[in-house]
Amino acid sequence: MSNTEATKPAAGAGLAGQVVADSSISFVDGAAGILEYRGYDIRELAAHSHFEEVAFLLWNGHLPTAQELAEMKAQARACRFMPPEIISALRNLPKDAEPMAVMRSAVSLLAHYDPESEDNTPLAHQHKACRLLGQISGVLAAFERIRKGEEPVKPRMDLDHAANFLWMLTGEDPDPLAARALDQYLLLLAEHEFNASTFTARVTASTGSDLHSAITSALGTLKGPLHGAAVQEAMAQFLEIGSAENVESWFELARAEGHRVMGMGHRVYKVRDPRAAPLMANVESMAQSTGEREWFDIARKLETVAMQDPYFQERNLSANVDFYSAPLLYSLGIPVNTFTPMFAMSRIVGWTAHVYEQQANNRLIRPLANYVGAHQLPWAPIEQRG
């Protein structure tokens, strides 16, 4: 064994607590429950801003002037065009295909129809990020309609991103409250430092690969139940509970059987996720508007019950971003197995910002493993192996 091998630091499971790069895109203080995008507190942004403005902020590092925002919105609307070949491909997929897998395949396919897919210059990156922002929402809405036997709906240029998505999904003028709630959701999930999928995107970008490859990698990572798919499992859990009266008995059984409460706990936040409060407020507004309160009531009660439990207190387990995202998306009429692609529809902004940051100051990301296997084994011919 070489000296390098002997002096390697021990690996922390899951890279927990390890700093792997400098970044100026977002700041997370897990102990204080603070999230900032480019220096702006997420609660301030949720109260005053909207998704497209935040996309500009994350991509460019400053809030836009009125003229910059107008230009950005015009550019983003022009990016909603979907190559017809992608719609044909979506029609040919199995109707029961997993929407997140569809999204992953579609982004990979979109590269073939993007004139700048192999161009990694900053200008090409900006164009591709804009196109992916528009196209991802288009893929999601189109596949949702195709699998229900309906025709995809063309985007509208007069609507903001969230409202246009609801339009493409339903073919109906979007309800302003629903559009506002979705806009807030997209804003709140747009970026979150070095989470698993963002890290994946940066690893792919660090090899000099293209943006579509980086986003395809990120989508594969987001698909997992400990990351992006937790929101779907959180909703499945609320549906299983069924009514606020059942929360306590459900919780006792879950604890007795050692099941995790989905939408609780976080690798970085040791207090309530700062995105939970604005998401919860939107769930409540939607519940008041639709008259369907049960999912809001179940979530509120489950959070209260969990926060009183010593197991959750001792481990600093609190509501994370998924806990209230689940009932919010449900109240917007989004099918549960499409919740994770909705996450991607928002996070595409953060991923593309990180790929740009990685490319702007790149060094190949190539960590080490702490090898714990055997060494220098003797070769045995196949007939002598037992």
For the segment 200-229, give every residue that binds ligand COA (CB under 6 A). Answer: 226
Is 212 in contact with 128 (CB distance < 8 Å)?
yes
CA distance 283 to 295: 9
Can you tell me which of 132, 322, 332, 345 binds ligand COA, judged by CB under 6 A?
Answer: 322
CA distance 305 to 314: 14
Of 38-46, 161-169, 180-188, 314-322, the window that binds ligand COA (rule: CB under 6 A) is 314-322
What is the DSSP secondary-structure string of 277-296?
Answer: HHHHHHHHHHHHHHS--HHH
Which of 326, 347, 348, 350 has the alpha carbon at shortest distance from 338?
Answer: 326
When the beta carbons of 263 and 341 are compared against ligand COA, the nearer one is 263
For the segment 219-278, give every residue that binds ligand COA (CB under 6 A). Answer: 226, 230, 260-267
* Size of residue set near ligand COA by CB under 6 A: 16
When the beta carbons of 179 and 218 are compared against ligand COA, the nearer one is 218
Which of 264, 246, 243 has the alpha carbon at shortest distance from 306?
Answer: 264
HSE of 304, CA atoms in CB hemisphere, 13 A: 9
- Catalytic member of 114, 183, 297, 322: 322
> Quick check: 187 binds ligand COA (CB under 6 A)?
no
For residue 260, the minimal CB distance to ligand COA (Å) is 4
- C-alpha angle 21-23-24 in degrees, rounded to nearest 5: 165
For residue 267, the minimal CB distance to ligand COA (Å) is 4
When the beta carbons of 263 and 327 are compared against ligand COA, the nearer one is 263
Parallel/antiparallel/unpaired status of strands 40-41 and 26-29: unpaired
When the beta carbons of 216 and 318 are compared against ligand COA, the nearer one is 318
For residue 318, the minimal CB distance to ligand COA (Å) is 10
CA distance 243 to 330: 15
| Known active-site residue 266 | yes
CA distance 76 to 120: 20
For residue 31, the minimal CB distance to ligand COA (Å) is 14
Parallel/antiparallel/unpaired status of strands 34-37 and 26-29: antiparallel
Q: Which residue number has the CB closest to ligand COA?
A: 265
Structure tokens at 308: 């009183």
For residue 40, the minimal CB distance to ligand COA (Å) is 21
HSE of 177, CA atoms in CB hemisphere, 13 A: 13
When the beta carbons of 286 and 321 are compared against ligand COA, the nearer one is 321
| Known active-site residue 322 | yes
Element (H, E) at 105: helix 99-110
> Quick check: 198 binds ligand COA (CB under 6 A)?
no
How many other C-beta atoms can be found within 10 angstroms of the C-beta atom of residue 297? 18
Can you tell me which of 130, 182, 283, 321 binds ligand COA, judged by CB under 6 A?
Answer: 321
- Catalytic member of 50, 127, 161, 266: 266
One-letter amino acid of 99: P
> Quick check: 315 binds ligand COA (CB under 6 A)?
yes
CA distance 69 to 62: 11
For residue 266, the minimal CB distance to ligand COA (Å) is 5
What are residue 29's DSSP bridge partners?
Answer: 34
Can you tell me which of 241, 317, 326, 334 binds ligand COA, judged by CB under 6 A?
Answer: 317
For residue 361, the minimal CB distance to ligand COA (Å) is 28
When the beta carbons of 267 and 293 are compared against ligand COA, the nearer one is 267
For the segment 5-44, give every residue that binds ligand COA (CB under 6 A). Answer: 14
When the beta carbons of 179 and 302 are compared against ligand COA, the nearer one is 302
Q: Is 106 left (phi over 0), alpha (psi -120 to 50) or beta?
A: alpha
Structure tokens at 6: 């002997």
Instruction: Give the residue numbers annotated as catalytic, written as ranges.
Output: 266, 322
Q: Which residues bind ligand COA (CB under 6 A)?
A: 14, 226, 230, 260-267, 315, 317, 320-322
